[in-house]
Structure 1
Amino acid sequence: MPICLPTLNQGFDWKTCTLSGWGLLKDQSQGGTESQSLQKVDLPVIPNWLCSLEYSGVNTVVEDTMICAGPLAGGKGPCQGDSGGPLQCPRSDGRYVLAGSTSWGTTCAAAFQPGVFGRISTRVDWIKSVVGPTP
């Protein structure tokens, strides 16, 4: 089943969404292990104001074109090799919306530093201009 695009600037704060990817199972600095199968994990979407606060100590900016997801306690999240992978959120009709595309983080699944994704809802017009109308 194809994934749905979000509406322009659609929000996902505090929703539980699913990340999938083929990235490392733990950070390279901890002897990262390569995944032999597609992995998935459910993550809470964190509001940008809170994500910005969490990253303020590492001199990075979380912009409106980004979306953050991961438990603040850490332990779950994207890792090296997951870049470009989907963060998808369920809709009430059982289908999924593409909320984000894995972009960056500091350390895999670090406490107080959720994963950062490209926010698809800010790029819907561009995607539609490239892909064309849907049936």
Structure 2
Amino acid sequence: MTETREMFEAREGEQRLENDPALMPPDGGIVFIGRIASPWTTRETCPKNMRAARETGQKAVLTIDTAYRSGLQGLERASHVIILSWLHHAPRDLIVQKPRHAAEAKGVFSLRSPARPNPIGLHVVRLVALDQRT
């Protein structure tokens, strides 16, 4: 998992935790029920806000594992869905971060950055298509 976090290069003013939460014993359980394929695969290409993301016209694809697909029944009537994601490429030990567009470093809880002790993403997305078979 270390190699995936290397995409977060160190910037001046940033601070890391002494103990990486990713290496600590878990105290809760999460079951991953699918995967998200995003068009943004590097930190540099990721839009800095939703307006910029919408302007690209690119869409992410969410694939639900077979065992959970029956839970999608009735979802075709929805215009939007809420997705929780695990941002597995993000470092979990970065506690103060220097955004590329900011003059000063800030605590990760004041940013939209995926870098945080528990990298959980919350996404409200527009449902554009639903295929319950794949």
Answer whether TM exceeds 0.5 for this pair.
Answer: no
TM-score (norm 2): 0.26
TM-score (norm 1): 0.25
More strand by share: 1
Query: Which has the higher Rg, Structure 1 or Structure 2?
Result: 2
